[in-house]
Chain A
Amino acid sequence: MHISEIRVGVSSCGLAAGANKVLKQLQERTDIPVVGVGCIGHCYAEPLVEIVTDDFSVLYGNVEANETDLSEILAGNDYKRLILRPERTQRENLRLTSIIGKFEPIDLSAYISYGGFKGLKKALHMAPEYLVQEITQSQLRGRGGGGFPTGVKWSLLAQKDSTDKVIICNADEGDPGAFMDRSLMESLPYQILEGMLIAAYATGATQLYIYCRAEYPLAIRNLGSAINAIKSNGLNYIQGNALDIQIKEGAGAFVCGEETALIHSLEGKRGMPRFRPPYPTDSGYNGLPSMISNVETFANVPVIVRDGAEKFAAIGTEGGRGTKLFALAGDVKYPGLVEVPMGITLGEIIYNIGGAEPGTIKAVQTGGPSGGCIPAELFDTPVDYDSLRSLGAIMGSGGLIVIGNNRCMVETARYFLDFTHKESCGKCTFCRVGSKRMFEVLERITGGTGMPEDITFLENMGQKVRAGSLCGLGSTAPNPVLATLRFFRSEFEAHVLQRQCPAMQCASLSDVVLHHEACTECGRCMKICPVNAVTSDWTIDNSVCTRCNSCVEACPQHTISRAPGGSGYRSGSSTNKEAI
């Protein structure tokens, strides 16, 4: 076996799992070139090492930087070999990320050797109008969440009669639970920049900006290196003009993902949204006509131009064309990043690709805090913009958080409202005050002091916040609550009427119980308990216990479990109406 190259995945998630150590030690051990490559999306098996020989390549997962692991791998043994599951590979359709993880992300010549800049080259031989038409025909829609047809945006900007036009790449991926854009920026920076350059040629834009959140240092570093390499190789010359591409770092405000807020932040101001019209294509950054698209949207452009619009439009459904990246996390066995054709069902992503056990999952949250939950009964819904919207959820940017049976839906809704009410910029009263009131009510319900009228209050206020907010943040903030009320109303009712948490997650509505009959008194629970709530006669003092679940997970005999109880708990089916 002749090894020609060794690849180690060194994106943020790989680095967090210790990929850097693996990379360095492999480099010390061998003269074979060891390269740090982008993320191939199998996050459950980080750190990943790929051994490439002349004829084939072998993937290893969960590699540790120790003697056994590294020598076994270099010897080409099957030890820790990662066999990709056909349940996943058969459903994937790698177009956008087909070359991810094959080369060092900032290596320009490697990107070109894998077909990079072919799209730009082809584009420069096309008339700009024709190029706009090509994108329109591909039916590409904005991947950031809104789903606005990209071709329409391009033609609006192209029609503007101005010598100065701006293109902004929205890389402020703020949705908790979404990491598609981070992965693309870290692993395929050139593809995003190529897409932006093609857009600049098609629309006549002169200024290019990338607005990236500061929490992604590696993405900023890789994009910065890629921009420098593009400039020094003259690839930024469009029709004789050298275009400047700048990265602007965000400063931690979720609302800046909204386009008018983003523009204000780019201008160095507080990132507050404003009323539209005027739309950014009329008056955007510094008053210039501007077009804002998401990272994934730009990354799709070179592939569409290179392979032709028909190929892209042939994939997917009426409600969405092409492939889409999803960040799969939560209660699944194989979390990670997947690229699948639009129109695949939620069930295929969660059960087949994610490896979740049917029956153990109750819902999935799509679109983060702006989206909604979809219950397991509806997992045969095809994933596209229109189908998800009809269920009260949104496609969003592609974050999928899978929620297992043991999680409380009310608590999940409370979490999202906690996030949005803190991130509200404060401009619109309904968003500023309304979302806070909704959050307080949810706190009360999960705290075991909810009242029956709370449910109607949440529904009413939710409608008002939705109607009375200017931007996407406010108008979608009630979505998680409203969707949960629609599909999991019984859980809300159990909290306020019976004062019980069906998932037994809410601390004030549950106890931790040790069943002594099966207990071997091994003492693991005592040792792990942070507050010494396990008493010497093997019971749990629930007045001290913080419900951290450490003991439940630590017990080898599974004798400790959660049970109805807690300070707010009322036994039996009697309601608490009398009590109020």
Chain B
Amino acid sequence: MENTLSHLKHIDSDKGNIIKGLQLIQKNEGYLSDRALEICSHYFSVPLVEIQGIVTFYSQFKRTKPGKYQISICDGTACHLKGATLILDWIATELNIGAGETDSTGLFSLETVACLGCCSLAPVMSVNGDIFGNLSRKGVLQILKRYKRQG
């Protein structure tokens, strides 16, 4: 709890900073726990329900602990046309998880995102922010293997 609060120390308790505060906590802790929401509610002096409302509104906020490697599959228009759903399928089958879930080892979590802005390299995915483009099934499996080996 002390730690969570310390992330907020750098910003004002002004209501306009709620989103920023939540982003800071998520950046440091990987997700927003129930406790984190309560702390925010106290810090910004707003009812917990309001914090919940903000957290559920924005797709960036995660309420479950993510894996060590966060796989984001771009499902923007260009990527969708070029087979983003297949890539999601392949990875989901390989790791045995669906979008929005973390695998049992806690190594990978999977999500789809609206657009990573690399449309000319479609289809694209990112692992912890590193972008991989022009994906094929073989390429995707190789990327997963590499991260698995790194552990």
- Residues of A in contact with B (beta carbons under 8 Å apart): 12-13, 15-17, 43-44, 46, 173-179, 182, 214-217, 248-254, 265-271, 286, 327-331, 335-336, 365, 368-369, 399, 401, 403, 407, 412, 415-416, 419, 423, 425, 528, 530, 546, 548-550
Contacts and interface: CB of A to CB of B under 8 A. Distances in A.
A17 B113 contact: no
Size class of the B contact interface (CB-based, 8 Å): 35 or more
Interface of B: 14-20, 22-23, 53-54, 57-61, 75-81, 83, 86, 89-90, 93, 113-122, 124, 129, 131-133, 136-138
A473 to B, nearest CB: 13
B100 to A, nearest CB: 13
Given A249-B23, A251-B23, A13 B81 contact: no
A328 B120 CA distance: 8
A492 B90 CA distance: 29
A528 B140 CA distance: 13
B114 A401 contact: no
A268 B18 contact: yes
A254 to B, nearest CB: 7
Nearest to A285: B16
A44 B115 contact: no
B60 A179 contact: no
Given A174-B114, A176-B77, A179-B118, 17 more contacts: A13-B117, A13-B121, A13-B133, A43-B120, A176-B75, A177-B78, A177-B119, A214-B23, A217-B129, A252-B59, A267-B15, A268-B17, A268-B19, A271-B57, A331-B81, A336-B120, A549-B86
A16 B77 contact: no
A401 B81 CA distance: 9
Contacts of A415: 77, 80
B83 A13 contact: no
B60 A403 contact: no
Nearest to B15: A268
A511 to B, nearest CB: 17
A420 B132 CA distance: 26
Given A265-B19, A268-B16, A530-B137, A16 B121 contact: yes
A336 to B, nearest CB: 6
B58 A550 contact: no
A43 B16 contact: no
Nearest to A332: B120
B117 to A, nearest CB: 4
A270 B59 CA distance: 11
A310 B141 CA distance: 56
B14 to A, nearest CB: 8
Contacts of B93: 530
Given A16-B131, A329-B119, A335-B119, A401 B57 contact: no
Contact of A251 (B15, B16, B58, B81): B58
A17 B122 CA distance: 11
B86 A175 contact: no
A22 to B, nearest CB: 15
A177 B129 contact: no
Nearest to A42: B120
A227 B25 CA distance: 25
